[in-house]
Structure 1
Amino acid sequence: MGLLGRSWALLVGLVGVRAEWYDGIPSVQVFGPEQQEEAESFFRDHYQKYRQAEFSAARQAVLLKRGDYNFSFEVPFYTSVAGVGLGPNEVTVRSFRVPSRLPWQQGGATKTFWRSVEGLNAKETCLWATSQACPLRRSIIHGDLQLSGFHEDEKTLGPSSGGFMADVDVKGTVLLGTQQQFLFRNSEFGHVNLKKNTNAYNTVYVGVKGTPETHEINAPQMVSSIPKTERVAEKPFLVEEMGHWFVSVPNLKLDSVGSRQSAFAPRISIEEMYVARAGDTASSINVGIQGKKGLLLTPGLYEVGEPIMVTDPGFVILGLGFPTLVSKGALPAIMQMADDARVAGILLEGGAEVDEIPRTDALLLWSGHGGVASDIFARVGSFKYENTFHKPCTAKRANIFFEVEGDDVVVDHTWLWHADHDDCTSRWPDSLSAVSCQSQNALLVRGKRVIIYGLQAEHTLEDQVVWYGEEGS
């Protein structure tokens, strides 16, 4: 916040009106149940504007306070929708939807990325025709959950290539449809349909109640079922209570089964978090987090010319609306050196120019022991957006996306992607990103007893995953 902004916040406080942490941040929209028409209108307009914006620079978080919202909504690119009640039963909507955005011949939902929903209680059937980097968390669905869909008037389900879901209770049927792969963790399902309109190749159920039974080892619908989740903590999340805001940080659980794993968690008040906004840099963030217990990254693109340094045990980084850290140098974007830290909901982007920097360190270097990384997404590619720290359509480099040196770390969902397509060229698979950008490995694990759920890594130019650590899974 600049001098004028902070002076205004002080003036507001003096005249008796409390300034909210999200004041002056247009990429964060907060609605209460008394604002139904305004909220529904925002969702409708926002979806129409960004439903095809695969490489847009826009980022958005929509936060719904406790109450009943009698409408359905769609979720476009780079948008997170979250109920901010203590539990999902406190924020009710009719349904949420992500339709298949492309015709069947153009890939259906296989290019539907970067969006999320969490903390909602949906009364009706929901559609989540998505692929990578689209986590669905901490929610209740009273109807069915459809994981693939039709494009407009087409009669054939479009392809889809997800995905990840955790701490979700589906009272009806989970319809896999065309999902090529999916990981379900700590959830509860009324039924999973393996037959009708289904050609799912590989589904994994970890600590799930309602796992489908199949006895055909070589069936197209390959099913892996792990009865208990060995070690995990659910992703931190925002809570609003009587006008006060907190970040809830769920505890680590061992051998857990079923949903509702995030209840009764410790809290950090919003005053103990540094709230970063677009315009902040790694330098200003490092100053801002001194003496704080956490960092809240609001939606936006951030220039990272030096590492964000995490050194305090138990420190929490929580991103809203896919905040994107664009790494400009050879050093990591984040150096996580603290024990038992939490990092969640971030998109790391390799922004170093190939012609200027011969090699880069990991975008996220995790050397602290313990802790949990949730929804960690990374990419390198040539993209058209332009600002003061990103030249459009030039070759970029990121040698390592994510490196884990610490022991006993849990990683809960990743998509680590060397782009095979972009918005600079229409050629596929010979896009500018695929031909000109440089990468090495998506994930490098050196620590012992590292556990990863929902590891997705694609297209890096050398081994996608290199794992030296012992006793991991």
Structure 2
Amino acid sequence: MLPLPRRSHRRTHSPRTSTSGRRLGVAALAVALATTVSAAVATPATASSKPDPDLGPNTVVFDPSMSVDDIQKTVDAIHAKQVDAEMGDGRYAILFKPGTYGTAEHPLRFQVGYYTEVAGLGLNPGDVKINGAVEVYNRCLPPAPDQESNCIALVNFWRSLSNLSINFVGGSDGCRNSANFWAVSQAAPMRRVELTGANLSLMDYCTAGPQYASGGFIADSKLPFVVSGSQQQFLTRNSSVDGWSNFVWNQVFSGVEGAPAGGPFTDDNKYTTLAATPVSREKPFLYVDGKGKWNVFVPDAVKDSAGTSWKSGTTAGSSIPLNRFYVAKPGDSVKKINQALYAGKHLLLTPGIYHNSSPLTVVHPNQVVLGLGLATIVPENGSVGLRTLDVKGVKIAGLMFDAGATNSPSLLTVGTRLSKLDALGRKPHLSDPANPTTLSDVFFRVGGAHQGRATQSLVVNANNVIIDHTWAWRADHGTDGVGWTVNTAETGVLVNGNDVLATGLFSEHYQKYNVVWNGERGRTIFFQNELPYDAPNQAAWQHGSTLGYAGYKVGDKVTTHEAWGLGSYIYTNVDPTLHATNAFEVPERSGVKLHNMIIVSLNNAGTIDHVVNGVGGPAVAAPGGSTTAYLAEYPVAP
């Protein structure tokens, strides 16, 4: 088919599928959203609870004493505002206090739109129970002239679901009664969710076609049978599943009980399965305790783990009272926020967009920076959005960075690389393998919603860091600021630190290497990449005699590196004749190992000549669909 706007042009493969306020009342809030599209506000406190904190005008807090009809009207109104707001400026957090919502006769079933976080406020997922469903369906976009329909999940980005249990209760639609649908693509994580009563489907097979999806990430969840369907790639980490239906290109499981058996990538098997995750730390989250006090729970880091962190009881970790956080709102000055960080406060960014003319700076060990409702930082005047000094155990989670019009050297920088070494060549007291700095659900965008430029999106200079789900995206579509000389960006992720682990690394469309890894003993579990669409010609996209740039580059001096489940795709729609010499480039050393790699040429536009270092491939542009090539191991066994 002809290339379509947004990302629907990239998917032609037909996979196998299986279908086995502060003080306004909730009802008034629904009317306000539906009629004036005003911001949502937190619900009033009940007689049995303490007053809720002010979490900004776009945070909605429900408690189980509220009427299901009022809750339904509110969440439906937020969805109606956000369902098509792909490049909009709305940001929302929908939070449920501990208790039960909906019944078998009167279920609570709703959809989650763009820039919307849905989360329970219990200490464990079972503390918040929804009888109904929380879902994402396809968006049905205008079809191309040769299409009858264009219903897809390819651009269902930027939303999340976490820390609650769902007992699926259907309605009157027979097809919709077959599963809880979570048809998403990048930057749409599901964490700490327990689902019973129906399958979980990661595609929406109830709308018209083509029904493509391109996700995604699940962690710390207990799930029934999962219909993967048209999902091209997916990482599931530290969870349990009752079964998994199929694969398309790259399905990775790390520490997942019930995961399908992995093996070398072939046409008949595209599963990568690791029995345990080497190091992990779950994302910090808000909760309300039995006395009505608000806290942030910070899970401990664990080694060699499998299954959910809460399968034997409460997740291991510690609580921080919310009064030890500076609760920021859009419009707060960087100076004011930094004064709080310097004074030792943690930081909670409530939903909205923060235009910052200088970096937010984390200065103390173990500080937490937590965003609600995909709180978004836009660095202005060429500044960095957020940076950390050389301190250990920092947690940064739930944030989006959107490049400003003036080029930034980076959007998030972790560590400085400037600290003096001790006599043994070490950075004393600056990192700790037992207490790693952790980045959870941290997303980057360059262009799309407005003009943006950034040399790099994420720079990791610190040692002992976990990157647990990130998507660095140089926009290939949007309402503004898209073009080879417009939203300029060289590299999505640059890792200079040692002992860094990435679980769920997505980086796309950058103009040079999408990932550069210079640190020693780095590990990546799941990598997804698309090379840039919009290079105008081969001369603009090559270095020396090498055509294009690899999606994943390990530095020439690195002696030890390992990665599992790697995918790189090409779709050069401006010049379909372009080539990339390699999808992956690594030094030729026995300590550098790659497992299960796939390359794809999409929709007859662009060719990847080799998988890695001149070995494997090609994936050649061809009419009528997409072509693939696989490599199970590198170095290749003699």
How far did 1:20 drift? 2.9
Aligned pairs for 1:399-418 (under 5 A) are 399-418=455-474
Flag structure 1 segments of 5+ consecutive residues without an equivalent.
1-16, 354-358, 384-392, 425-430
Residue 182 to residue 342, structure 1, CA distance change in 2 (3 Å): same
Counterpart position of 2:443? 377
Tell me if the contact between 2:461 and 2:495 (Cα under 8 Å) persists in the aligned partners.
yes
Secondary structure of 2:211 counterpart = coil
Query: How far apart, in 2, do the equivalents of 1:238 and 1:221 lie?
Result: 39
Aligned ranges for residues 440-455 of structure 1 at < 5 Å? 440-455=490-505
1:80 equivalenced with 2:117 (yes/no): yes
CA distance in 2 between partners of 1:279 and 1:290 (Å): 19
Q: What one-letter code is carried by the residue in structure 2 that aligns with 1:271?
A: N
Q: 1:85 to 1:396 in 2, by over 3 A?
A: same
Q: C-alpha offsets along residues 177-235 of structure 1, whole Å, 9 cap, x if unaligned?
A: 100100000000011112xxxx5210000000011136674125511011111011100
Contact 2:63 2:98 in 1 (8 A): yes
User: Equivalent residue for 1:29?
Assistant: 60
Amino acid at match of 1:377: F
Within-5 A mapping of 1:49-448? 49-70=81-102, 71-93=108-130, 94-103=132-141, 106=150, 108-124=152-168, 125-142=179-196, 143-150=198-205, 152=207, 154=208, 156=209, 158-170=211-223, 172-194=224-246, 200-213=248-261, 217-219=265-267, 221-241=269-289, 242-261=291-310, 263-337=315-389, 338-353=391-406, 359-367=407-415, 369=431, 370-383=436-449, 393=450, 395-424=451-480, 432-448=482-498
Cα 1:350/1:220, change in 2 over 3 Å = farther
1:289 deviation in Å? 2.9
After superposition, the C-alpha distances for 1:77-102 in whole angstroms (9 at most, x for unaligned) are: 00000001010011011211100113
Q: Any conservation in 2 of the 1:149–1:157 contact (CA below 8 Å)? A: no
| Distance in 1 of aligned mates of 2:57 and 2:268 | 46
Cα deviation, residue 18, structure 1: 6.1
What do the CA deviations read for 1:132-182 (whole angstroms, capped 9, x no partner)?
000000110112110001364x1x451000000100101x21110100100
With over 3 angstroms needed to count, the CA separation of the structure-2 counterparts of 1:221 and 1:58, relative to structure 1, is farther
- Structure with the greater alpha carbon radius of gyration: 2
- In structure 2, give the amino acid aligned to 1:108: I
Q: Secondary structure at the match of 1:329?
A: coil
Paired with 2:63 and 2:458, the residues of 1 have a C-alpha distance of: 38
Cα deviation, residue 280, structure 1: 1.4
Q: Where in structure 1 do 4 or more consecutive aligned residues deviate above 6 Å?
A: none
Q: Distance in 2 between matches of 1:221 and 1:122?
A: 31
Instruction: State the shift of 1:330 in Å.
Output: 2.7
User: Could you report, residue by residue, the CA deviation over 1:392-449 in whole angstroms, capped at 9, with x for unpaired residues?
Assistant: x5x421111000011111110001000000123xxxxxx7345511111000000011
Instruction: Name the stretch that deviates more: 258-267 or 184-193.
Output: 258-267
Tell me the CA shift for residue 335 of structure 1.
1.0
CA distance 1:158–1:21, change in 2 (3 Å)? same
Q: Pick closer, same or farther for the CA change 1:396–1:66 going to 2, 3 Å.
A: same
Alpha-carbon distance between aligned partners in 2 of 1:120 and 1:40, rounded to the nearest angstrom: 17
The 3-state SS of whatever aligns with 1:455 is strand
Identity across aligned pairs (percent)?
33
Deviations 1:301-327 (A, max 9, x none): 001111111011000001010000001
Answer yes or no: is the 8 Å Cα contact 1:361–1:399 preserved in 2: yes
TM-score, length of structure 1 as denominator length: 0.87
Q: Is the 8 A contact 2:138 2:151 kept in 1?
A: no
Structure 1 pair 433–34 and aligned structure 2 pair: CA distance change class (3 A): farther
- 2 CA distance for matches of 1:184 and 1:31? 29
CA distance in 1, matches of 2:474, 2:70: 39
1:39-89, Cα deviation, whole Å (9 max, x unpaired): 211111111121011011000001100111111111000000000101001
> Are the structure 2 counterparts of residues 79 and 433 from structure 1 closer, same or farther at C-alpha, using a change threshold of 3 Å?
farther
- Does the 8 A contact of 2:263 with 2:272 survive in 1? no
Scaled by the length of structure 2, the TM-score of the pair is 0.65
1:323-377 deviations in Å (ceiling 9; x for gaps): 0000113332111122111000000011133xxxxx5321110016331110010
Counterpart CA distance in 1 for 2:341 and 2:52 is: 19
Residue identity in the other structure for 1:231: V
Measure the CA separation in 2 of the matches of 1:91 and 1:282: 35
Q: Distance in 1 between matches of 2:120 and 2:386?
A: 28
Contact 1:200 1:221 (8 Å CA) reproduced: no
> Secondary structure, in 3 states, of the residue corresponding to 1:29?
strand
What value does the CA root-mean-square deviation take over the aligned residues?
2.0
The letter of the residue matching 1:410 is: I
Count of residue pairs the alignment pairs up: 429
Q: What amino acid maps onto 1:99 in structure 2?
A: Y
